[in-house]
Every structure is written in C-alpha cells, then in structure tokens.
Structure 1
C-alpha cells in the first residue's frame, strides 16, 4: 500500500469539541469499513479550517471513494514518497 497525505477543507473543524471530533472519526471509520483492505487511516492533524490526514491506500481512487462515502472532501491528495526527520542527517 502507498502512503498519502490528504488535505481536507472543513470549515470550523478547528473549533470542534472533542465530542464533535469523535463523531467525525466515527463517520470516517464507518466509511473505511466499507472499503476493507483498500484504505487505512493512520492519523490526522486539525489546523484551522483544514485537516491533513495520513492514509495508507492501494491507490488514489480508493481515497476518493472513502471521501465520497464519508462526505469529507479530499481537496488535495499527495502520495508520500519518503519520510525524513532529524535523524536522517546522521
């Protein structure tokens, strides 16, 4: 599976309560359950009116299908080719 970062524009998400974010995660999980083995959500960063989600997926089409099923937009989908961090310099 390939790794992707998905940018989603979701007005007001940065101001959502923990309970509201829980509901959003439940909605996403329900959509993922309809795509067994094709898409896996790793985690998301919530910032202002956007989320940046890291997913494993067989391809971009599977991510778009999850977006349609969940109702959450996928404004930008970018495949992650590699990951670097401070230890990469060693």
Structure 2
C-alpha cells in the first residue's frame, strides 16, 4: 500500500498540551475506524509536530482517501507527497 506524507498547517500545534493532542488523535482514530468499517484502506502511522505544522505519515490505497479523512476529521491538508523510497543509515551500508 502506498505511503504518504501529509503537510498540515496547524498554528501553535508545537505548544499543544497532552490533552489537546490526545483529543486530536482520538478524533483521527474515530474517523479512521469508521473508514475501516466502510472497507477503506487507510492507516495513520505517526506524525511529527513543529511549531505551526504537522507532517503525518499514512498508508492508504490512494490519495483520495487522505483527502476524505481530512474532510471528515476536520484536519487541514496543505500538501500530500507519495513516498517513493525510504532512505536510512542502512542504505549507506551497500
């Protein structure tokens, strides 16, 4: 299944407290469960929060499912990038 990185503008996300982050994650999980029940293949792996952005990593059958999740959960989407390959320290070992 393709992997995507989603850039989201979320002002102040980097200074959010645990309860706020928990609420956002719970909302995302709720929508993902609904989509799974509808046999839509989408999975959230994790997210990175900076001062005013998040970069979320998802597995999904297609980019349209990313947009659907964003619309249903109320999370913004600035850009979506399909991951073509993963490069890590092991890559340099030949």
TM-score of the pair, normalised by structure 1? 0.96
Q: What is the CA distance between 1:42 and its match in structure 2?
A: 0.2
Identify unmatched segments of 5+ residues in structure 1. none
Q: What is the alpha-carbon root mean square deviation over aligned residues?
A: 0.8
Instruction: Tell me the CA shift for residue 30 of structure 1.
Output: 1.0
Q: CA deviation at 1:74?
A: 1.2
Where in structure 2 are there 5+ consecutive unaligned residues?
none
CA distance in 1, matches of 2:4, 2:68: 14
For 1:1-90, list aligned pairs within 5 A: 1-36=1-36, 37-90=40-93
Q: TM-score, normalised by structure 2?
A: 0.92
Give, in whole Å, the separation in 2 of the partners of 1:42 and 1:18: 19
